[in-house]
């Protein structure tokens, strides 16, 4: 994993500062969280600001730890500026997908960097598909691409069945953001890792098919 780059450190610091403010200031939290009714009224800043708020310390830690684990892989291939673009695009696309799926639910609200972080995770898997992950509850290494595809499929299941108080659609939208921007920045992946490009696209295609068929 190595040392934190400056851009990763700035992102983590921004998440910590904004989240701590939100923990201690209810009106601040309410003003900047993702909320369908407020966004449709024109409060578009929530599409961005909600990605820096978290519900509690555990939520914040999990997202920032996941970012720490995968950030350097993306930075090593794309550099700091493109890494930042992947992060921001993933954050916004995650919230756009949430807005699309919940547009008729004015009271729907969400917070968290999960969409942006999932974009970085998906980017890292695309760029270095051979890496392995050690998950807390599984004692053997899991190939990163298996984790990525499995998580996306679980997100579809979660969206379909409304599993838990989790923004599955934001996670999925973030992963799509990471997928698209990484392929734009690293078009050589079509030659070097075409199979992985296709495999990681399968959950995205499945989501489209299910939505068109009215199953979501």
The Cα–Cα gap between 165 and 126 comes to: 28
Specify the pLDDT at position 159. Answer: 77
Predicted model pTM: 0.91
Looking at residue 212, its pLDDT comes to 82
Number of domains in the chain: 1
What six digits make up the tokens of 11?
A: 């992102």
Mean per-residue pLDDT, 83-106 = 95
Q: By percentage, how much of the chain surpasses pLDDT 90?
A: 68
Beta-strand runs (E) in the chain: 34-35, 109-110, 132-133, 142-143
Query: Does 1 fall in a domain?
Result: no
> What is residue 166's predicted lDDT score, i.e. its pLDDT?
64
Per-residue burial over 27-39, b if 16 or more Cβ lie within 10 Å, else e, is eebeebbbbbebb
Q: How far apart are CA 143 and CA 59, in angstroms?
A: 25
- Domain housing 60: 6-212
CATH of the domain at 205: 1.20.1540.10
Asked if the model's pLDDT at residue 2 lies above 60, the reply is no
| Residue 55 falls inside a structural domain | yes
Average pLDDT over residues 126-130: 89
Q: Kindly report the number of other CB atoms within 10 A of residue 117's CB atom.
A: 31
Q: Would residue 61 count as lying in a domain?
A: yes
Residue 91 has pLDDT above 70, yes or no: yes
């Amino acid at each position: 994993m190595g040392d934190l780059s400056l851009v990763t450190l700035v992102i983590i610091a921004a998440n910590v500062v904004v989240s701590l403010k939100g923990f201690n200031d209810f009106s601040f939290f309410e003003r900047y969280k993702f909320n369908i009714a407020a966004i449709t009224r024109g409060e578009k800043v929530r599409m961005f600001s909600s990605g820096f708020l978290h519900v509690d310390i555990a939520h914040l830690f999990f997202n920032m730890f996941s970012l720490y684990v995968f950030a350097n892989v993306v930075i090593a291939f794309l550099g700091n500026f493109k890494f930042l673009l992947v992060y921001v695009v993933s954050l916004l696309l995650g919230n756009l997908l949430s807005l699309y799926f919940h547009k008729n639910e004015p009271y729907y609200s969400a917070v968290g960097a999960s969409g942006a972080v999932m974009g970085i995770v998906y980017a890292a898997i695309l760029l270095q598909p051979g890496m392995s992950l050690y998950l807390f509850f599984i004692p053997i290494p899991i190939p990163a691409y298996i984790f990525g595809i499995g998580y996306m499929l679980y997100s579809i299941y979660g969206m379909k069945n409304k599993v838990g108080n989790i923004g599955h659609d934001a996670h999925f939208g973030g992963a799509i953001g990471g997928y698209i921007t990484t392929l734009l920045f690293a078009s050589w992946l079509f030659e070097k890792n075409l199979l992985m490009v296709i495999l990681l696209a399968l959950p995205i295609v499945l989501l489209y098919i299910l939505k068109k068929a009215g199953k979501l």
